[in-house]
Every structure is written in C-alpha cells, then in structure tokens.
C-alpha cells in the first residue's frame, strides 16, 4: 500500500511545475533540426539554430535566462495553451487559425512554398497544375498542406501528408510521391541531404514564421513584438539569418511592413476561440467526409457482425454454464475468464499472426472473429447472470407443465432474462463500436483510424474529433433508443 501511495504521489508531483527563479522557458522541436533548432554536434547539451538565437536574444532583452523546452512540433499550440512554456518558436507558421487560438507575435521571417521534384521530372512538373493525377507530399498541419488540399479540387492531384519533413523527400526519391511542396527553408535542407532532387525556385505562396505564447499572455506577446521590431531595426535579425544562411531579399520588405504597421492593430491580436483552425477544418471536411463515412460504415458492419457472433456464442456459452455438466461448465468458465481477462489486442494478434500457420484469415474476418470471440465472453456472463435471476417458480411452473429444458429456456427463461440483460448488452454494443477501433492494428481502416488520418492531415484534432464523436454517437443513439423502447415495453410486464 505504501508503495502504491508513493507511486501515486510521484505521479502527482511530476506534474506540478517547480517555481524558482523565472527563466524564459521557450518551446521548440529539436527534431525539426537545423537551421531552426537542433542540438550542437560539438556539444549536444547546447541547442543551435536561428530560432535558438532569436529566443536567446529575446530572453536577454527581457533580462531572464533562456531555458529550452522540447515540444513536438504538432503539439506546440496545445502546449502553449497548457502553459508548458512561455514562448514558442520553431519555424511556426502564421495562420488565422493559430492567431485565433494562441497569442501570436508579428512575423519575423518570410518563406516561400516551393515545389521539389526528382531531377528527371524537372521539366515535367513545374507547377501544381502539372501534377494532375499525381501524389504530392508535404508536412501535415502546414500552410503547404492547405494549399495542396485546395489543389486537389483545382488541379486533380492527391495530397499526401507526413508527420515529419524527412520522409516526404525520401518517398519522393522512392517514387512513392511525385513532388513535395514545403517551405524553401525545409526544401533547401532536404536538397543538401539528398541527391537526385531539384527544387523550383518559384514561390507557390509565401508565409511567415511567428512566435507564440499562451492566449492570455498578450503582455508577453507585446514585449516580444517590441523586441522583434527593435531587432528588425537594428539588424540583429538580419545578422542571425545571415549566419544561418537563410537571409533572403524578401525579409527587408517584410520588416518594412511590420515596422510600418507598428501601433496599428496587429492582425488577430484580439485572441479568442480557435475559429480559424475550425474554419480551415470545415473547409477540408468535404474532401474527407466520404472516407470518414465509409469508415463509419465499415465500423458499423464490423461491430454488428462481431456483436451478432458474440450474442450467438454468448447464448451458447451461458446455456452451457447454466445447464451443462461440470466439465462443460469448467471449460466454458476458463474460456470466459481467459478471453475476458486478457487484452483483445493480443487476441487479435494471435488470430491474425499466431494462427497464420494454420489458417490465413483475411484481416476483416480476423477482426470480426477476434472481437466476436472476445465479446462473447462478456455477453455470456451477462446472460448467465440474467438467466440465473429468473425466479425459480417460473421454471418450476414450466417444468410441471411438461416443457422440455430447451422449451423452458426459449419460451420462459430467455424472454424474462433478456429484459434484465438488455441494458448491459446495449452498453457492450455501444462499447464495441468504439472498441472495434483496435482492429486498425490488423490494417483495417475503421472510423477512428480514418479520423486520425484526417486529423494528422489537417493538423488539428478539433473538427475531426468532434466529427468522429458525432458519427459514433449517430451509430449508438438509435441503438440506445431502441433498447430503451424495448425496456419500456417490458416494464409493463414487471410484477
């Protein structure tokens, strides 16, 4: 018990931040690599990159020591809102959605979205329009991805989103995609890493990097803005970008604009609900809806089939446990305890891979059988308990009338037990709808998996999550409704 308590305490403590001298905690993703943020090869404890130098400059100006906090790129906004760091910078793109959900600084760097292709395709693929029918890769949750989604409709290409900026280029080399659209900083880095690729210098679009903070920290944001503006004026920023070989002729124009806008309201400086990202997600929705719906249909078909199997099998197991001889009962009890007591994921693996030596089940069938066998254990327990709760007098009356055991079960016991089993059964069916998402390990793409794909691609969980929840609800509500109506009807017959 003491050990448990300690453990719990430990877990509680790790989440409570230590309050000491206030360094400026700045968040970034060192996996993003140079020239943004990366560990110094000479001294890996030290971070280097232009974002590092900008962060350190800001900290110095604020008179606070800088402290780096490693945050996954895709979690930066979320972590900002949670307050995991004071300011975040790591090649974070400006966007209305972001401006609406966190406090965003003025832009400090202007980048161009550029197309990279294999050398052999240099002439064939010069613009998005040339890529009709082709797969074009990018990083999920970026402006480039939004552009590609637009282009899906306009130019008939297929957008493919990745979680990192390395694999788009390696898959480009492998021929899995035919072009990559990303900002020129990432593209140049990729060009250095890989041979056989070529980047078209023309900008498909331009964007900006910004610094973010928690939505309520507008005070800090304003300080950062002031420091950035000063750094634009006195050449600090130019020196940093030149050092990292990222200075382009676009920057002076950007700085001029930023400095000219000083005093006037910066765009989106008001904060508020994350309407921007929601709007972006709604825009992307029509493209994802068909695949989400068909994933929902798959989920429903799989769940219904598995539940059917579970119910039928569950009835047999329960019958066996109530009426069977001691051996049958023991065997069935072991089945129930093992199937119920061990993770269904493991069972799915055993059925899909473990039995592959004997029978190679297609993934869908393996998923159905696995879920069905697992849920049968749960259903059987519900039925067994419900069957045993039917008053003895009812069974004796049936017996005395000469009904066989099977007839008694069918005509008297099961109908009365079913009423007791209905609510827990409905629970299980509703749970199964969600549990069926486990089968994605068997390469079956159902609703949750499809939602994940959607979310990764648009770089936000909000709308896909809500939509996914709504779809699950849409499947479970009619079921609950039906169950409740049945219950109400039977309630009349309760003594």
For residue 168, what are its two tokens? Answer: 């788009």
Site residues (vs another protein, CB under 8 A): 391-394, 396-403, 407, 411-412, 415-416, 419, 490, 492-495
For residue 165, what are its two tokens? Answer: 């900026």
Site for a copy of itself in 417-476 (CB under 8 A): 419-420, 422-424, 426-428, 430-431, 434, 437, 444, 448, 461, 465, 468-469, 472-473, 475-476
Say whether 258 sits in a helix, a strand or coil: helix
Partner touching 67 among another protein, a copy of itself, none, CB below 5 to 8 Å by kind: none
Q: How far apart are CA 222 and CA 157, in angstroms?
A: 41
Q: Looking at the DSSP assignment, which residues form a beta bridge with residue 150?
A: none
The residue among 260 and 358 lying less far from a copy of itself, judged by its C-beta, is: 358
For residue 204, what are its two tokens? Answer: 């498909």
Site for a copy of itself in 3-62 (CB under 8 A): 3-4, 7-8, 11-12, 14-16, 30, 39, 41-45
Residue written as token pair 């709504």: 470
Partner touching 297 among a copy of itself, another protein, none, CB below 5 to 8 Å by kind: a copy of itself
Q: How far apart are CA 276 and CA 285, in angstroms?
A: 14
Residue written as token pair 């966007």: 95
Name the one range near a copy of itself by CB under 8 A: 19-27, 251-259, 380-388, 399-407: 380-388
The residue among 188 and 388 lying less far from a copy of itself, judged by its C-beta, is: 388
Q: How far apart are CA 467 and CA 447, in angstroms?
A: 10
Q: Looking at the DSSP assignment, which residues form a beta bridge with residue 180?
A: 116, 137
Which one of 100, 157, 298, 313 is in contact with a copy of itself (CB under 8 A)? 298
Say whether 42 sits in a helix, a strand or coil: coil
Which one of 67, 194, 223, 236 is in contact with a copy of itself (CB under 8 A)? 194
Burial 148-167 (b: 16+ CB within 10 A, else e): bbbbeeebebbbbbbeebbb
Partner touching 396 among a copy of itself, another protein, none, CB below 5 to 8 Å by kind: another protein
Binding status of residue 346 toward a copy of itself by CB under 8 A:
yes
Radius of gyration of the chain (CA): 30
Residue 175 near residue 81, CB atoms below 8 Å: no
The residue among 158 and 333 lying less far from a copy of itself, judged by its C-beta, is: 333
Which one of 329, 340, 399, 405 is in contact with a copy of itself (CB under 8 A)? 340
Q: Looking at the DSSP assignment, which residues form a beta bridge with residue 118?
A: 197
Report whether the peptide linkage leading into residue 35 is cis, meaning its omega lies within 30 degrees of zero.
yes
Closest CA to 107 of 196, 234, 217, 229: 229
To the nearest whole angstrom, how small is the minimum distance from the Cβ of residue 338 to a copy of itself? Answer: 7
Residue 318 near residue 385, CB atoms below 8 Å: no
Closest CA to 211 of 299, 98, 369, 60: 98
The contact pattern for a copy of itself, residues 128-167, with x = CB under 8 A and - = no contact, is ----------------------------------------
What angle do helix axes 143-155 and 447-458 make, rounded to 10 degrees? Answer: 110
To the nearest whole angstrom, how small is the minimum distance from the Cβ of residue 392 to a copy of itself? Answer: 7
Binding status of residue 199 toward a copy of itself by CB under 8 A:
no
- Is residue 479 packed enough to be buried (19+ CB in 10 Å), middle (13-18) or exposed (0-12)? middle
User: What is the CB neighbour count within 10 angstroms for residue 115?
Assistant: 24
- Is residue 141 packed enough to be buried (19+ CB in 10 Å), middle (13-18) or exposed (0-12)? buried
Q: How far apart are CA 268 and CA 107, in angstroms?
A: 12
Which one of 196, 235, 267, 272 is in contact with a copy of itself (CB under 8 A)? 196
Say whether 28 sits in a helix, a strand or coil: strand
Compute how many residues bind a copy of itself; rule: CB under 8 A. Answer: 92
Site for a copy of itself in 201-220 (CB under 8 A): 215
Partner touching 373 among a copy of itself, another protein, none, CB below 5 to 8 Å by kind: none
Name the one range near a copy of itself by CB under 8 A: 138-146, 156-164, 200-208, 391-399: 391-399
Partner touching 400 among a copy of itself, another protein, none, CB below 5 to 8 Å by kind: another protein
Which one of 63, 341, 400, 402 is in contact with a copy of itself (CB under 8 A)? 341
To the nearest whole angstrom, how small is the minimum distance from the Cβ of residue 15 to a copy of itself? Answer: 3
Which one of 477, 482, 485, 489 is in contact with a copy of itself (CB under 8 A)? 477
Q: What is the dihedral of CA 104, 106, 110, 114, to 10 degrees?
A: 20
The residue among 133 and 495 lying less far from another protein, judged by its C-beta, is: 495
To the nearest whole angstrom, how small is the minimum distance from the Cβ of residue 66 to a copy of itself? Answer: 18
Binding status of residue 398 toward a copy of itself by CB under 8 A:
no
Partner touching 423 among a copy of itself, another protein, none, CB below 5 to 8 Å by kind: a copy of itself
The contact pattern for a copy of itself, residues 92-131, with x = CB under 8 A and - = no contact, is --------------------------x-------------
């Amino acid at each position: 018990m003491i050990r448990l308590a300690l453990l719990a305490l430990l877990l509680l403590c790790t989440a409570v931040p230590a309050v000491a001298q206030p360094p400026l905690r700045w968040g970034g993703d060192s996996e993003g690599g140079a020239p943004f943020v990366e560990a110094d090869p000479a001294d890996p404890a030290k971070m280097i990159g232009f974002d590092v130098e900008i962060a350190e400059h800001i900290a110095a100006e604020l008179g606070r020591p800088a402290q780096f906090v490693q945050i996954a790129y895709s979690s930066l906004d979320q972590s900002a809102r949670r307050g995991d760091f004071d300011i975040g910078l790591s090649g974070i793109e400006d966007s209305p959605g972001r401006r609406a959900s966190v406090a965003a600084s003025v832009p400090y760097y202007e980048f161009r979205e550029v197309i990279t292709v294999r050398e052999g395709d240099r002439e064939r693929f010069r613009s998005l329009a040339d890529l009709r029918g082709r797969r074009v890769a990018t990083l999920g949750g970026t402006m480039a991805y939004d552009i590609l989604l637009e282009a899906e409709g306009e130019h008939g290409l297929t957008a493919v989103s990745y979680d990192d900026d390395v694999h788009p280029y390696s898959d480009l080399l492998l021929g899995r995609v035919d072009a990559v659209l990303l900002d020129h900083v990432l593209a140049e880095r990729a060009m250095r890493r890989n041979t056989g690729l070529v980047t078209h210098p023309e900008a498909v679009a331009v964007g900006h990097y910004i610094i973010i903070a928690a939505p309520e920290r507008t005070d800090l944001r304003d300080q950062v803005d002031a420091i950035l503006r000063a750094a634009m004026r006195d050449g600090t920023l130019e020196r940093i970008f030149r050092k990292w070989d990222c200075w382009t002729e676009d920057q002076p124009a950007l700085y001029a604009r930023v400095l000219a806008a000083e005093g006037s309201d910066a765009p989106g400086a008001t904060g508020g609900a994350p309407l921007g990202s929601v709007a972006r997600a709604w825009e992307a929705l029509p493209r994802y809806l068909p695949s989400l719906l068909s994933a929902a249909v798959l989920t429903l078909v799989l769940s219904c089939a598995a539940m059917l199997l579970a119910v039928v099998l569950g009835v047999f197991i329960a019958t066996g446990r109530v009426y069977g001889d001691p051996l049958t009962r023991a065997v069935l009890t072991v089945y129930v305890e093992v199937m119920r007591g061990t993770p269904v994921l493991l069972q799915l693996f055993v059925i899909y891979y473990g039995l592959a030596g004997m029978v190679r089940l297609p993934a869908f069938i393996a998923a159905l059988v696995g879920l069905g066998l697992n849920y049968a254990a749960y259903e059987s327990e519900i039925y067994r308990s419900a069957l045993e709760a039917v008053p003895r007098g009812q069974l004796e009356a049936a017996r005395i009338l000469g009904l066989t055991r099977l007839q008694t079960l069918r005509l008297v016991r099961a109908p009365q037990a079913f009423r007791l089993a209905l609510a827990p059964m409905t629970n299980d069916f509703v749970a199964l709808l969600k549990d069926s998402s486990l089968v994605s390990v068997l390469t079956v793409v159902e609703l949750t998996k499809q939602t994940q794909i959607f979310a990764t691609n648009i770089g936000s969980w909000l709308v896909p999550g809500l939509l996914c929840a709504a779809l699950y609800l849409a499947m479970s509500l009619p079921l609950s409704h039906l169950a409740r109506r049945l219950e109400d009807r039977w309630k009349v017959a309760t003594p």
